[in-house]
Amino acid sequence: KAGVTQTPRYLIKTRGQQVTLSCSPISGHRSVSWYQQTPGQGLQFLFEYFSETQRNKGNFPGRFSGRQFSNSRSEMNVSTLELGDSALYLCASSFTLAGFSTDTQYFGPGTRLTVL
């Protein structure tokens, strides 16, 4: 079974631009979570989607948004990029049964975003 895939793997943007990152979960996984990883803050939870609905949200500004499609693929968007948005953005998927989690989150390799 293929793992979680994320595209693109690397992105370079300038301040003020917007960016869209994509995540394809493991087949059969309906929950997709996004995390931001930086050297100073570690891994921080952005949001989680299940069945096309945002179910949980972390403490990030409204510039960070996401969505999930009917095939469970998810996109994350960051508008008006700031230098501090430079980070590794990780997507994780997990299997859920009747809406309940089996806990294990499987991470993709991440998208490295650099904001100049």
Partner 1 sequence: QQQVKQSPQSLIVQKGGISIINCAYENTAFDYFPWYQQFPGKGPALLIAIRPDVSEKKEGRFTISFNKSAKQFSLHIMDSQPGDSATYFCAAGTNFGNEKLTFGTGTRLTIIP
Q: Is residue 55 involved in binding partner 1 (CB under 8 A)?
A: yes
Q: Binding of partner 1 at residue 101 (CB under 8 A)?
A: yes
Q: What 3-state class would DSSP assign to 84?
A: helix
Is the CB of 44 or the CB of 65 nearer to partner 1? 44
CB 46, CB 97: distance < 8 Å:
no
Q: 87 with 111: CB under 8 angstroms?
A: no
Contact code string over 12-51 relative to partner 1, x by CB under 8 A: -------------------x-x-x-----xxxxx--x-x-
CA distances from 45 to 15, 41, 79 (A): 23, 11, 18
As measured in angstroms, the least distance from the Cβ of 40 to partner 1 is 9
Q: In what order do the strands lie in the sheet with 74-78?
A: 5-7, 19-24, 74-78, 64-68
Interface residues toward partner 1, by CB under 8 A? 4, 31, 33, 35, 41-45, 48, 50, 55-56, 58, 90, 92, 94, 96, 99-101, 103-110
